[in-house]
Amino acid sequence: MKLKVNGELKEIEVKNVPTTLTKVIKQLGHDQQLVVVEFNGKIQPTYTWDQEYVKDGDTLEIVTIVGGGS
């Protein structure tokens, strides 16, 4: 499956099509609790990820939450 992730074309292997956003985020190596995801132009709350199906050509913007500060 080919996806555009943070502006770059990525090809990922999926076992079952269609596949959920949860599975794609995990396969890309992200922790669900530490990212915010924009899926095809819309920010998706984590509780919707199991109902959102990803298909070839979709676009993801993934922002990682980083702690820190002083």
Dist CA 45 CA 42 (whole Å): 10
The domain total for the chain is 1
Q: What is the pLDDT of residue 16?
A: 75
How confident is the prediction along the chain (70 residues), in pLDDT tens digits per residue?
999 999 999 999 888 778 999 999 999 999 999 999 999 999 999 999 999 999 999 999 999 988 776 6
User: Considering the domain boundaries, does residue 69 fall inside one?
Assistant: no
Q: What is the pLDDT of residue 59?
A: 98
12: tokens are 């990922």
Q: What is the pLDDT of residue 70?
A: 65
User: Considering the domain boundaries, does residue 70 fall inside one?
Assistant: no
Domain range for 54 is: 2-64
Closest to 28 in 3D by CA, of 48, 46, 5, 51: 5
Contact 54, 25 (CB under 8 A): no
User: Considering the domain boundaries, does residue 52 fall inside one?
Assistant: yes
Is the pTM above the cut of 0.95?
Answer: no
**Domain holding 18: CATH number?**
3.10.20.30
Q: What is the pLDDT of residue 67?
A: 76
